[in-house]
Amino acid sequence: MTHRPSQPTRRTVLRATGSAAAIGLAGCLGPSTPANVELPPPDNYEALQEADLPYPIYGEDLPEATVPDVLSDQPVSSSSLVGDSHLLLTFVYTRCNGICLTLASGLVHAQARAAEGGYTDDLSLAVITFDPATDTPETFTDWAADQGFDFDLGNCYLLRPTSPERARTVVEDTYGEAYEKNPDEGMPFLHMGLTLLVNDEGVVERAYAGSQPQPATIVDDVETLVDG
């Protein structure tokens, strides 16, 4: 899939969210399973293929990007987060009091279950902010701690692009998570809400877009990957 740079509008963001919701209602027509995946095709796989979505879907490679990690103060590439482990990747901004909390909750539950199940080393968790102007390293770290991320486990990455322009390139152009400033009162940004579950070969197993699944669903998918 080609990831094309774009200039989103409020209509673009809402249309992407609506498309993801509509696709979620489509039935599986029995597509073949791509190579290098462990989970079965999602029920909406054929509709996803036909939609030409901007984000990577089931069976596609995770796009490559390198972003500084505020916890280690080192640049981290997406390819370095897989290979030895599977990956949950999502995109947030800390002033959000809506879907970003749900996005974080999915990762926090997965991290906790991995610790309980003894497979922490088999799962990495990465959160990329698309509001680096406000989300300073301290603000971002405090927010993640408040959400329940356990930094001591060593499998959590808080990735902060160096500028708003770089954030746009990484989050929207590379990974396909559309966002824009909110012209109305309320939360500063509108965005779709995207979490990617990527296996240890760097192939997307699930793209949870728009309405997010219950954390238990994400945990079940992760454990299926870990169990092989």
Annotated binding site for Cu cation: 96, 100, 191
Distance CA 102, CA 191 (A): 13
Contact 106, 216 (CB under 8 A): no
Nearest residue to 222 (alpha-carbon basis) of 156, 149, 124: 124
Half-sphere CA count of 168, side-chain side, radius 13 A: 12
Q: What is the 3-state secondary structure (H, E, C) of 128-172?
A: EECCCCCCCHHHHHHHHHHHCCCHHHCCEEEECCCCHHHHHHHHH
Nearest residue to 89 (alpha-carbon basis) of 80, 97, 8: 80
Binding residues: 96, 100, 191
Q: Is 2 helix (H, G, I), strand (E, B) or coil?
A: coil
Q: Please provide the distance, in angstroms rounded to a whole number, between the alpha carbons at the two ends of the chain.
A: 27
**Rg of the chain on CA atoms, in Å:** 16
